[in-house]
Structure formats: C-alpha cells, structure tokens
Structure 1
Amino acid sequence: MSRKLPTVADLRALKGKKQLSMLRYFTIEEAAAAETAGVDIASVPPEILFDPRYREVAPSIFSMTGQTHTQCGTPLDYLRWCNDAVERGADAIYCSGSMQTVEMLAREYIPVVGHVGLVPARATWTGGFRAVGKTAADALRLFDEVKAYENAGAIAIELEVVPEEVATEISKRVKILVWSMGAGAGCDAQYLFSNDILGYTEGHVPRHAKVYRDFQAEYDRLQNERIAAFQEFVADVETGAFPQDEQLVKMPENELDAFRNQLETRP
C-alpha cells in the first residue's frame, strides 16, 4: 500500500496518538532505503533534498532542511532562502535563529522546526555536550523555551538529550510537536542519525544512539577490495597482461595493409 506525503496538519493530528520515526540521512541511497523502510520524517542536507532525484526516491517522507541563519546574510536573505527551499520541496525548515527569526518565517506560513536541550551549536551556553534539564530549574527553562517556540509559531521542536521524565511532561503540556533525540518515548517522534544506525560514525557514538548494522566493517572490506583491484590493474599494465584482445578493437587485415602502404608515401 502506497503512502501519501503527510502535511503539517496530518502530523499535528497524530500528536499523543502515535510514535513516528525520524532520521537524519546524507545520501540519495539512504533516502531511498528510508522510504522503503517506512520512515515518517527526515532531516536532509539541502544538497540532497534539492537533488531532482530526491522526491523520486522519497515521495512520502516529511522532509525538513536548513541553513545556518548567519550564513545567509540579512534576515530578508534568510527568508528568501527558506522560501526557495520550500519551493524546491522542503516540507519544513530547521531554524537555528532567534525567536524573532522563527516568528518572521511563521508569519509567512513557512513550517519552522526549532531545537531545544543539547543544541550542539549552542552547547557552550548549556555547559557543553551533556544532558540538559536534570534539575527542576533547568527543566522549567526547557519548558519555557518550548512554549516560546510554540508561541512564535513553530510547528515542532527537536528535544535533544533531556531526561525522559522531563520530555514527557513537556510534551503532554504543549500543542507543538516534540521530536525526541535521546529524550525518551514520551515525545511525538524518535530521531536518530543514519550513520549511527548503520555503524559508520567516526569517533564518539552518542549514548542515545543504537547501532543496527556495522557498515563500517563493510566499507573497510570494500576499500580493501578496491585497493586490491587497483593493484592487480597496475601489475597487469606493468607485465603486459592488460590490455588483451577482448579489450581491443581490431582493424580488418586488408584495411590495415592499405593504411600501412599509404603511410609509406607520407613524408
């Protein structure tokens, strides 16, 4: 049975009723696999989402993308970029800017997604790369920030590395969609990165991640096979084993004789 691309209204109607699956992926191949697997929501780099092939392989995944607001110039430049992204197939925009920026986009009916909790780009403000909201005071600040996003017009927020009890209490007290990355099942979606799921993350694997396959071992095997194939090619060239007749085009003997004879008459 084919799925249809969900709208913002569809996702809002599911709040509190169903856990959705959400991925961050990085290639067209991963997008195609996510579509076949039935993933609901995706965070996609612009260069992938804007690829003409993207909606061919992922027609029913609610797909958001983003660009750091400071890289786009003025707020008007950022608004233009977001409008262009929606025109090119984005279902929502991940916004790293201020509440004023969120409000600006929401006023233009651009679906906006915010980020609360451990936000890597703002980790210095919350004490580095660690859980956020482990005290009552910190948890209340998280709640206030989620409400601020809701009041600014955002459709959803990613809630990252927050105690599950806090995330659950927040999610059931707000209308905005709450997408969990390491914040427990009391939210509206569960969010992981494809590289963590597939086991090819370089360096530290986050605590909240779960590895389902060891693609790194397969990538290493393929690299070794690649090297071996290139080495065999080099050896064949050096020994004369390549090229052989099956890799070559032959000239009819009579044409070859005629060619050689005419060469003899050339200065």
Structure 2
Amino acid sequence: MTRRKPTVADLRARKGKGQLTMLRIFTLEEAAAAEAAGIDVVSIPPALATDPEYRQVAPTLFSMTGVDHREAGTREDYLRFAGRMLMAGADALYCSAGLGTVRYLAEEHIPVVGHVGLVPSRATWTGGFKAVGKTADAAMVLFEEVRAYEEAGAFAVEIEVVPVEVASAISARVGILLWSMGSGPGCDVQYLFAEDILGTNRGHMPRHSKVYRNFAAEFDRLQSERIAAFREFISDVASGAYPEDRHIVRMAPEEAASFLARIETAR
C-alpha cells in the first residue's frame, strides 16, 4: 500500500492506538532518510520548510515548524509567519507563546502544537533544565496546562521530561495528542533529535536520548582524510608530481611551434 502524508484528522483518529515516531531534523539528507525509513512526524526549522526541494525528498512526512515566540513579534506577525509556513508545505505550527496566542492561531484554523514540562524558552519558571512534574501538585499543574491547551484549540502538545506516570495518566484523560520527549511510552508520539540518534551531538546528551550510530567518529575520520588529501596535494605541487600529462591539454606540435615563434616577435 502506498504511504501518504497524514492529516491532522488522521493523527487525531489514532489517539490511544499506539505510538508514532517523530524526529527533529535539520537537513534535506536527514529528511530523505526519515522518509525512506518510514518516520511519521518531523520537526523542521523554517528554512527547511521553505526549501523548494523539501517536499520532493519528504512527500509523506507530517512536518511541524515554528519560531521562538520571543522573536516572533505580535500575534498578527505569528499568524503571518504561520501562513507562510503552511503555504510552503508545512503541516503544523509549534507555538511556545501563551494560550492567548494559541487560541488566536487556532481560531484561524492553524494546526497548533503547544509545549509543557521542560520548555527551554520558559525553563526559568520551572527551575531550569530538569524534569517537571515530580510532585503530585506539580503534576496536577501539568494536567491543567494540557487541558488548557486543548481548550484553546491546539491539536497536540509536546510533553518534555515529565515522569512517565504523569505523562501516561494525562494522555489517557485528554483528547489532545501528547508528543513525548523523555516522558515515557504512554503518549501518542515518541520524539527524539536526529543528531542524538546519529551521534552527531557533541554537547550534552539528554537522559532520554539514545544513540544508534556514531556519525561523529566517522566525521572525524573523514576530516582527517580531508586534511591528509590537502597535504598530499600541496606536496605534489611542490615536487612537480601534479599536474601530470593526463591532467593538462596540449596543442598540436605545429600549432605550438607557430605560436611560440609569433610570441617571440610580439611587442
């Protein structure tokens, strides 16, 4: 059966029927790989969403994009940005702004995805970059926040670094889709960064990440080979080993002789 890109309605109809897979990707190569592998949902930067080649390599990936609300401008600016992204081929808009903005966008029929738990742009309010919802009181705050997103019209919410018991219980009690990043298997989507999966992240590796390949070591090997090749080129030029006769073009002998004779008398 030929795979097709899911709609928001398709994703909502799957609520409670198992987990889908989601990646944060940054390049056309990663998009093509996600497409070929059968990933369901991706988060992409605006530059990739508007790349004319993106939908050629990723025709069936449900693609969310967004911009940090701190640089988005007014709600009207946010709406214009969302419109550009959807017209370019994106399927949903990540919104880290307040519920008023979420409601404003949803009322214009923009598919909006919110964010609860460890939200990087709001981490100062929850104590920094650490798990959120580890007490019963904090967990109830999360539950109410998810319900508020649902009431505001968001169709999904990313739930990041929340105890598995909390995320699972909330997911079972709401109609909104929960996309789990480090919040366990009881949600609707499992979400990881491609750079963590591929081992290209050289910084902090989150607890919830899993490395499946070591691309960093391969990139280091290729960089060493790149440097070695450049050095060999330098050496060949210095020794005269490059260029060889097969690398150059020659004139017919009689034409070369005529040219050299004429250039000697040219002034």
Aligned to 1:11: 11
1:20-53 residue CA offsets vs partner (Å, 9 max, x unmatched): 0000011111111111110000001111121111
Deviation at residue 4 of structure 1 after TM alignment:
0.3
Which residues in structure 2 correspond to 1:1-267 (within 5 Å)? 1-267=1-267
What's the TM-score once normalised by structure 2's chain length?
0.98
Could you tell me how far apart the structure 2 residues matched to 1:146 and 1:119 are? 13
Could you tell me how far apart the structure 1 residues matched to 2:191 and 2:71 are? 26
Deviation at residue 240 of structure 1 after TM alignment:
1.2
Deviation at residue 140 of structure 1 after TM alignment:
0.5
Could you tell me how far apart the structure 1 residues matched to 2:161 and 2:68 are? 21
Q: Which moved more, 1:73-82 or 1:127-136?
A: 73-82
1:162-205 residue CA offsets vs partner (Å, 9 max, x unmatched): 00010011001111100000111110000000011111111211
Deviation at residue 90 of structure 1 after TM alignment:
0.6
What's the TM-score once normalised by structure 1's chain length?
0.98
The one-letter code of the counterpart of 2:217 is A
5+ long unaligned stretches in structure 2: none
Could you tell me how far apart the structure 2 residues matched to 1:189 and 1:162 are? 14
Question: SS at the partner of 2:63?
Answer: strand
Could you tell me how far apart the structure 2 residues matched to 1:246 and 1:108 are? 65
Could you tell me how far apart the structure 1 residues matched to 2:36 and 2:87 are? 25
Could you tell me how far apart the structure 2 residues matched to 1:213 and 1:70 are? 34
Percent of counterpart pairs with the same letter?
A: 63
Q: Which moved more, 1:253-262 or 1:35-44?
A: 253-262
Could you tell me how far apart the structure 1 residues matched to 2:75 and 2:262 are? 73
Q: Which moved more, 1:73-82 or 1:125-134?
A: 73-82
1:123-164 residue CA offsets vs partner (Å, 9 max, x unmatched): 111011111001010000001110111011101000000000
1:209-252 residue CA offsets vs partner (Å, 9 max, x unmatched): 11111111111111111111111111111111111111111111
Question: SS at the partner of 1:168?
Answer: helix
Question: SS at the partner of 2:167?
Answer: helix
Could you tell me how far apart the structure 1 residues matched to 2:212 and 2:176 are? 30
Could you tell me how far apart the structure 1 residues matched to 2:51 and 2:114 are? 24
5+ long unaligned stretches in structure 1: none
The one-letter code of the counterpart of 1:12 is R
Structure 1 ranges of 4+ moved more than 4 A: none
Deviation at residue 104 of structure 1 after TM alignment:
1.0
Aligned-residue Cα RMSD (Å) equals 1.0
The one-letter code of the counterpart of 2:170 is I
Deviation at residue 74 of structure 1 after TM alignment:
2.4
Could you tell me how far apart the structure 1 residues matched to 2:219 and 2:133 are? 38
Could you tell me how far apart the structure 2 residues matched to 1:5 and 1:132 are? 33
Could you tell me how far apart the structure 1 residues matched to 2:120 and 2:245 are? 58
Could you tell me how far apart the structure 2 residues matched to 1:72 and 1:117 are? 21
Could you tell me how far apart the structure 2 residues matched to 1:217 and 1:77 are? 42
Could you tell me how far apart the structure 1 residues matched to 2:98 and 2:180 are? 21
Could you tell me how far apart the structure 2 residues matched to 1:144 and 1:251 are? 82
1:93-122 residue CA offsets vs partner (Å, 9 max, x unmatched): 001111111111111111000110001111
Could you tell me how far apart the structure 2 residues matched to 1:70 and 1:198 are? 30
